Amino acid sequence: MADSSGKPSVLFVCVHNAGRSQMAAAWLTHLAGDRVEVRSAGSDPGTSVNPAAVAAMAEAGIDISAEIPKVLTVDAVRESDVCVTMGCGDTCPVFPGKRYLDWRLEDPAGQGVEAVRPIRDEIRALVEGLIEEIAPEATE
Which residues are designated catalytic? 14, 88, 92
CA distance 5 to 27: 21
Q: How long is the chain?
A: 140
For the chain, list the strands marked E by DSSP.
9-14, 37-42, 82-86, 99-102
| Segment (H or E) for 113 | helix 113-134
Neighbours of 109 (CB within 10 A): 16
Q: CB–CB of 69/46 below 8 Å?
A: yes
Q: Report residue 54 CA to chain centroid gap.
A: 14
Q: CB–CB of 50/116 below 8 Å?
A: yes
